[in-house]
């Protein structure tokens, strides 16, 4: 049990943070959705341009996100984003497969399968759940572009749900909410810091080991607590979001 928790901890160290190039063959048909991570932070948080948020989840194989994960995500976003028109989430299967995928391959699949794009007063976010692993074999998901997230479903399933492991809902929720944090501009990635809390050694992450946006839970003293508790944003991260139009 201790080993599986340690292994999980090592995997979680890497839950995410890649940046996609925004040019090339994977360019999306919708220019708004083809920007860099963090560019839509204010648009996601505030109601100034977009009053509604629409999230399209597409999954491969049997790696459908648990309904409790979707409920958690909905509550998380409703607590942070000013969207008086509401937040809607759909989840459908796609026929694609991807045993091992890297950022470019994921970006290409997104172009092939994504159908919901930002228009009018609705901002759209896309989430792909794959039936495989990242080529690095060390990350469970990443945010890319301004409104896109990839979760490695098979990898998440393989590291959750068994005796002594984190629950699948907790792991799915933790990775997904962390990636959404990046889309909302954390840390110093489109949402200006109210006070300095960026872990410069680890890119756009928070210095607080207890925060959802910490780069690593290697030193998370509450690792076994992850079995039942999903990490939350700390006060510094919450302040950044509120200052950029969020709740």
Interface residues with Zn ion (CB under 5 A) are 16-17, 206, 208, 211, 213, 234, 236-237
**Bridge partners for 86 per DSSP:** 52
Q: Which is nearer to Zn ion, 54 or 143 (CB)?
A: 143
Q: What minimum distance in Å lies between the beta carbon of 225 and Zn ion?
A: 17
Q: What minimum distance in Å lies between the beta carbon of 92 and Zn ion?
A: 26
Q: What minimum distance in Å lies between the beta carbon of 184 and Zn ion?
A: 12
Q: What minimum distance in Å lies between the beta carbon of 224 and Zn ion?
A: 21
Q: Which is nearer to Zn ion, 17 or 116 (CB)?
A: 17
Structure letter (DSSP) for residue 247: -
Q: Which is nearer to Zn ion, 116 or 189 (CB)?
A: 189
Question: Residue number with the shortest CB distance to Zn ion?
Answer: 206
- Please report where in the chains the tokens 């629409």 appear, as a residue: 54
User: Contact 84/48 with Cβ under 8 angstroms?
Assistant: no
Angle separating helix axes 67-80 and 168-183, nearest 10 degrees: 30
Q: Which is nearer to Zn ion, 39 or 54 (CB)?
A: 39
Q: Which is nearer to Zn ion, 153 or 231 (CB)?
A: 231
Q: What minimum distance in Å lies between the beta carbon of 16 and Zn ion?
A: 4
Q: What is the 3-state secondary structure (H, E, C) of 15-65?
A: CCCCCCCCCCCCCCCCHHHHCCCCCCHHHHHCCCCCCEEEEEEEEECCCCC
Tokens encoding 12: 């979680």
């Amino acid at each position: 049990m201790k080993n599986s928790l340690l292994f999980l901890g090592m995997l979680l160290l890497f839950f995410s943070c890649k940046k996609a190039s925004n040019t090339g063959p994977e360019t999306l048909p919708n220019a708004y959705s083809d920007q860099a991570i963090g560019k839509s932070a204010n648009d996601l948080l505030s109601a100034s341009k977009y009053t509604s948020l629409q999230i399209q989840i597409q999954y491969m194989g049997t790696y459908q996100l648990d309904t409790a994960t979707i409920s958690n995500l909905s509550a998380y976003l409703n607590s942070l984003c000013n969207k008086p028109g509401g937040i809607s989430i759909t989840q459908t299967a796609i026929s694609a497969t991807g045993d091992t995928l890297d950022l470019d391959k994921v970006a290409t699949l997104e172009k092939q399968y994504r159908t919901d794009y930002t228009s009018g007063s609705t901002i759209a976010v896309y989430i792909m759940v794959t039936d495989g692993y990242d080529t690095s074999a060390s990350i469970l998901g990443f945010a890319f572009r301004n409104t896109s997230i990839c979760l490695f479903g098979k990898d998440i399933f393989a590291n959750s749900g068994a005796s002594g492991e984190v629950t699948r809902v907790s792991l799915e929720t933790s990775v997904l909410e962390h990636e959404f944090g990046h889309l909302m501009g954390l840390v110093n990635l489109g949402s200006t810091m109210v006070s300095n809390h960026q872990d410069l050694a680890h890119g756009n992450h928070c210095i607080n080991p207890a925060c959802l946006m910490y780069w690593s839970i290697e030193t998370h003293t509450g690792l076994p607590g992850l079995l039942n508790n999903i990490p939350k944003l700390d006060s510094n991260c919450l302040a950044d979001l509120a200052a950029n139009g969020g709740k």
